[in-house]
């Protein structure tokens, strides 16, 4: 999660929403990235999507069985859907997103039984640091 937080800080330095993600498979970092929606004018440029795309290209397979995704913020609907399609095994996020998060907030999708793949979910690692970085970013944007 420390690497994901480093990516979030990099996003912050680029005036992107500070969310970072890292994908690990077989104890090896396969990909790491951060939000790039603003700089790339791409609504799908979330950290999770960037990491999943890059990892799939590197291993030449869109299915990322056995992989763990570490992300600094609870994923949105788009990102959680991509995680399901990529067949990751584990999702670990730092802090909850009460507005747009769908894993344990709002839609609570981790509990739904209609998905064809189940992801193990955990949260709370470096939650304070991730939350503070996001709060700082949005406070600066509002001023």
The model's pLDDT over 97-110, given as tens digits with 9 standing for 90+, comes to 888 877 776 666 76
Give me the sheet containing 90-95, strands edge to edge: 28-34, 20-25, 67-73, 90-95, 120-123
Stretch 133-138: mean pLDDT, rounded? Answer: 96
Binding-site residues for Zn(2+) sit at 46, 76, 79
Residue numbers annotated as active site: 48
Domain limits of the chain?
A: 2-138
Domain 2-138 has CATH 3.40.140.10: yes
Q: Long-range CB contacts (< 8 A, 24+ apart) of 26-29? A: 26/66, 29/3
- Name the more confident of 9 and 104: 9
Which pLDDT does position 106 carry in this prediction?
Answer: 65
Binding-site residues sit at 46, 76, 79
């Amino acid at each position: 999660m420390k690497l994901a937080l480093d990516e979030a800080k990099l996003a912050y330095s680029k005036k992107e929403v500070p969310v970072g993600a890292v994908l690990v498979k077989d104890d090896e970092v396969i990909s790491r990235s951060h939000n790039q929606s603003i700089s790339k004018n791409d609504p799908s440029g979330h950290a999770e999507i960037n990491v999943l795309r890059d990892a799939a290209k590197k291993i030449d397979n869109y299915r990322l069985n056995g992989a763990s995704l570490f992300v600094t913020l609870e994923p949105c609907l788009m990102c959680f859907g991509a995680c399901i399609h990529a067949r990751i095994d584990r999702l670990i996020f730092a802090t909850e997103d009460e507005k747009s998060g769908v894993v344990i907030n709002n839609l609570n999708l981790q509990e739904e039984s209609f998905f064809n793949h189940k992801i193990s979910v955990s949260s709370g690692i470096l939650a304070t640091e991730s939350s503070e970085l996001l709060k700082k970013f949005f406070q600066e944007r509002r001023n």
